[in-house]
Amino acid sequence: MIHVTINGVERDLDVDPEMPLLWVLRDVLGLTGTKYGCGEALCGACTIHLDGVPVRACVTPVHRAKGRAVTTIEGLSASGDHPLQRAWVDAGVPQCGYCQAGQIMTAAALLAANPAPSDDDIAQSMAGNICRCGTYVRIRAAIKAAAGAKK
Amino acid sequence: MTTRLAAIVALAACGSGTKAPPAVAPVAAPPRVDPAALAAPAAFERIADRAERSRALFAEIAKVLQHPRCVNCHTPDETPRQGDTHELHDPPVARGSADRGVVGMQCQTCHQDHNLELARVPGAPGWHLAPLAMVWLDRSPHEICEQIKDRTRNGDRSLAEIHEHIAKDRLVAWGWSPGWGRTPAPGTQAQLAELAAAWIDTGAECPP
Task: Kindly indicate the confidence band of residue B33, based on its pLDDT and cuts at 50, 70 and 90.
Answer: confident
Look at residue B55 and tell me whether its pLDDT is greater than 80: yes
Residues A90 and A128 in one domain: yes
Number of domains in chain A: 2
Nearest by CB: B119 against A59, A110, A124: A59
- The residue from A58, A75, A92 where one domain ends is A75
- The residue from A26, A59, A75 where one domain ends is A75
Residues A115 and A141 in one domain: yes
pLDDT of residue B2: 44
Quote the mean pLDDT of chain A: 97
pLDDT of residue B5: 44
Q: Measured between alpha carbons, how far is B152 from B162 in angstroms, rounded to an integer?
A: 13
Task: Identify the domain containing residue A134 by its residue range.
Answer: 83-150
Instruction: Give the CATH number of the domain where residue A48 resides.
Output: 3.10.20.30
The pLDDT tens digits for A25-63 are 999 999 999 999 999 999 999 999 999 999 999 999 999
Residues A69 and A24 in one domain: yes
Query: What's the full length of chain B, in residues?
Result: 208
Residues A50 and A104 in one domain: no
| Helix (H/G/I), strand (E/B), else coil: B57 | helix
Asked if residue B115 lies in contact with residue B147, where contact means CB atoms within 8 angstroms, the answer is no
Residues A9 and A67 in one domain: yes
E strands in chain A = 2-6, 9-13, 47-50, 53-56, 69-71
Comparing B24 with B28, the larger pLDDT belongs to B28
Nearest by CB: A60 against B94, B112, B120: B112
pLDDT of residue B35: 85
Residues A69 and A121 in one domain: no
Query: What is the distance in angstroms between the Cα of B33 and the nearest Cα belonging to chain A?
Result: 37
Residues A69 and A114 in one domain: no
Nearest by CB: B105 against A60, A107, A125: A125
Instruction: Give the CATH number of the domain where residue A132 resides.
Output: 1.10.150.120
Residues A9 and A61 in one domain: yes
Residues A71 and A90 in one domain: no
Look at residue B13 and tell me whether its pLDDT is greater than 60: no
Task: Kindly indicate the confidence band of residue B169, based on its pLDDT and cuts at 50, 70 and 90.
Answer: very high
Spell out the alpha helix ranges (H) of A92-131: 100-113, 119-125
CB-count burial class (<10 Å; 0-12, 13-18, 19+) for B153: middle
CB–CB of B120 and A64 under 8 A? no
Residues A108 and A66 in one domain: no
Look at residue B81 and tell me whether its pLDDT is greater than 90: yes
**Quick one: what percent of chain B has pLDDT higher than 90?**
83
The pLDDT tens digits for A61-89 are 999 999 999 999 999 999 999 999 999 99
The pLDDT tens digits for A105-140 are 999 999 999 999 999 999 999 999 999 999 999 999
> A42, A60, A124, A143: which to substitute to probe chain B, counting the most B Cβ within 10 Å?
A124
Asked if residue B189 lies in contact with residue B137, where contact means CB atoms within 8 angstroms, the answer is no
Q: Which residues contact B149 (CB under 8 A, 6 or more apart)?
A: B159, B204, B206
Residues A95 and A44 in one domain: no
Look at residue B58 and tell me whether its pLDDT is greater than 50: yes
Buried b (16+ CB within 10 A) or exposed e, B120-150: bbbbbeebbbbeeebbbbebebeebbebbbe
Look at residue A147 and tell me whether its pLDDT is greater than 60: yes
Residues A71 and A124 in one domain: no
Nearest by CB: A54 against B90, B93, B109: B109
pLDDT of residue B16: 44
* HEC letters along B156-202: CCCHHHHHHHHHHCHHHHHHHCCCCCCCCCCCCHHHHHHHHHHHHHC
Quote ipTM for the complex. Answer: 0.94
Query: Which stretches of chain A sit within 8 Å of chain B by CB?
Result: 39-42, 47, 53-56, 58-61, 64, 106-107, 109-110, 112-114, 121, 124-130
- The residue from A14, A40, A75 where one domain ends is A75
